Amino acid sequence: MLRFIFRRTLQMIPTLLAVVLIIFVIFSVVPGSFISSLMAEGRNATNADVMAHLNAQFGLDKPLPVRLWDYLWGLLHFDLGISYRTRSPVWDVIEPRLWPSIKLALAAMGFAAVVGIPLGFIAALKPGSLFDTSTMVLAISGLSVPEFWLGLLLMYFFALQLGWLPSFGYQADSIQHIILPAIALGVSPMALLARTTRAGVLDVMNADFVRTARAKGLTEPRLVRSHITRNVLVLILTTLGLQIGSLMGQAIVIEKLFSWPGIGSLLVDSVSVRDIPVVQGTVIVIVLWFLIINMLVDVAYAAIDPRIKVN
Partner 1 sequence: MRLRFNLAFGLTLVLVVVVAAVSAAWIAPYDPIFDADLMNSEMPPSWEHLLGTDGQGRDVLSRVLYGARVSLTVGLVSQLINSLIGTALGVSAGYFGGWWDDLVNGLTNVMLAIPSLVFALAIMAVLGPGLPSLLIALGLTNWSWTCRIARSSTLSLKNQGFVQAARAAGFSDANIMRTQILPNILGPVLVIATLGIGGAVLAEAALSFLGVGIRPPQPSWGNMLTDARELIRTAPWASVFPGLAIFTTVLGFNLLGDGLRDMLDPHMRTRRA
Helix, coil or strand: residue 203 = helix
Contact between 271 and partner 1 per CB under 8 A: yes
Q: How far is the CB of 47 from partner 1 (least distance, A)?
A: 27
Helix axis angle, 176-205 to 90-125, nearest 10°:
40
* Residue (175 or 292) nearer to partner 1, CB: 292
Contact between 64 and partner 1 per CB under 8 A: no
Nearest alpha-carbon partner for 148 in 242, 255, 247, 243: 255
Q: How far is the CB of 153 from partner 1 (least distance, A)?
A: 7
* Residue (39 or 159) nearer to partner 1, CB: 159
Query: Is residue 113 within 8 Å of residue 244, measured between CB atoms?
Result: no
* Residue (224 or 279) nearer to partner 1, CB: 279
Contacts to partner 1 from residues 135-154, by CB under 8 A: 140-141, 143-146, 148-150, 152-153
* Residue (6 or 156) nearer to partner 1, CB: 156
Distance CA 108, CA 180 (A): 10
Nearest alpha-carbon partner for 54 in 69, 44, 63: 44
Contact between 40 and partner 1 per CB under 8 A: no
Distance CA 285, CA 23 (A): 12
* Residue (91 or 168) nearer to partner 1, CB: 168
Q: Report which DSSP code applies to 87.
A: -
Query: Is residue 189 within 8 Å of residue 106, measured between CB atoms?
Result: no
Contact between 72 and partner 1 per CB under 8 A: no
**Among positions 117, 283, 297, 302, the unique one binding partner 1 when judged by CB under 8 A:** 283
Contacts to partner 1 from residues 211-250, by CB under 8 A: 246, 248-250
Contact between 183 and partner 1 per CB under 8 A: no
* Residue (15 or 36) nearer to partner 1, CB: 15
Contact between 29 and partner 1 per CB under 8 A: yes
| Residues forming a β-bridge with 82 | 89
- Residues in the interface with partner 1 (CB under 8 A) total 48
Helix, coil or strand: residue 110 = helix
* Residue (52 or 158) nearer to partner 1, CB: 158
Please report the beta strands in 26-147, taking only residues with DSSP state E, as ranges in sequence order. none
Degrees (nearest 5) of the Cα angle 126, 127, 129?
Answer: 75
Query: Is residue 280 within 8 Å of residue 94, measured between CB atoms?
Result: no
* Residue (64 or 153) nearer to partner 1, CB: 153
User: Which CA distances in Å does 228 have to 123, 134, 152, 221?
Assistant: 14, 23, 39, 10
Binding site for partner 1 (CB under 8 A): 14-15, 18-19, 22-23, 26-27, 29-31, 133, 140-141, 143-146, 148-150, 152-153, 155-156, 160, 202-203, 206, 246, 248-250, 252-253, 256-257, 267-268, 271-272, 274, 279, 283, 286-287, 290-291
